[in-house]
């Protein structure tokens, strides 16, 4: 399974509807994820430049592009940034498979730098 982080901004109309209808504010997020065979693992309202942050799990054959297309079809999402996530155990496996002794720390630090950490 593949994990993704979605940083989502609602359209102004969708944000107004969601604020006035407390029943299910994550329907615009949950529905496209489930339509593609994914599951929402965690979801949060944010106080930053995005309205919502969602962690999802999908079958391995899904792409970030397919996720973005599914979100855009609903009309409630102004923008979405989908970031593939690599579980720590998988990062360690990649590190041990591709690096010889003495190179592993540099490989992991290169991965962290390229991912914005």
Confidence of residue 105 (pLDDT cuts 50, 70, 90): very low
Tell me, yes or no, whether 95 and 106 share the same domain: yes
Q: Are residues 43 and 22 in the same domain?
A: yes
When the pLDDT of each residue in the chain is averaged and rounded to a whole number, the result is 79
SS3 state at 21: coil
Structure tokens at 26: 């994550």
Residues 24 and 76 both lie in one domain: yes
Domain that holds residue 117: 86-117
| Same domain (yes/no): 70, 110 | no
The proportion of the chain whose per-residue pLDDT surpasses 90, expressed as a percent, equals 24
**pTM of the model as a whole:** 0.72
36 & 8 share domain: yes
Q: What would the pLDDT profile of 10-21 be if each residue is shown by its tens digit? A: 888 888 887 787
Domains held by the chain: number? 2
Residues 55 and 80 in one domain: yes
Model pLDDT for residues 53-98, shown as the tens digit of each residue: 999 999 887 888 888 888 888 788 899 999 999 888 888 888 777 6
Residues 15-39, mean pLDDT to the nearest whole number: 81
Looking up tokens 């391995």 gives: 60
CA distances from 96 to 39, 49, 87, 103 (A): 30, 37, 14, 9
Query: Is 112 found in the same domain as 68?
Result: no
| Alpha-carbon radius of gyration of the chain | 17
Same domain, yes or no: 68 and 103: no
């Amino acid at each position: 399974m593949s994990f993704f982080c979605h940083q989502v901004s609602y359209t102004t109309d969708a944000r107004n509807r969601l604020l006035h209808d407390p029943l299910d504010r994550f329907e615009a997020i949950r529905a496209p994820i489930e339509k593609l065979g994914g599951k929402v693992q965690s979801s949060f309202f944010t106080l930053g430049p995005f309205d919502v942050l969602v962690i999802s799990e999908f079958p391995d054959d899904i792409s970030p592009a397919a996720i973005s297309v599914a979100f855009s079809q609903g009309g409630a999402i102004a923008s979405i940034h989908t970031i593939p996530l690599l579980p720590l155990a998988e990062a360690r496996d990649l590190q041990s498979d591709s690096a010889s002794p003495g190179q592993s720390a540099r490989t992991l630090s290169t991965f962290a730098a390229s991912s914005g950490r």
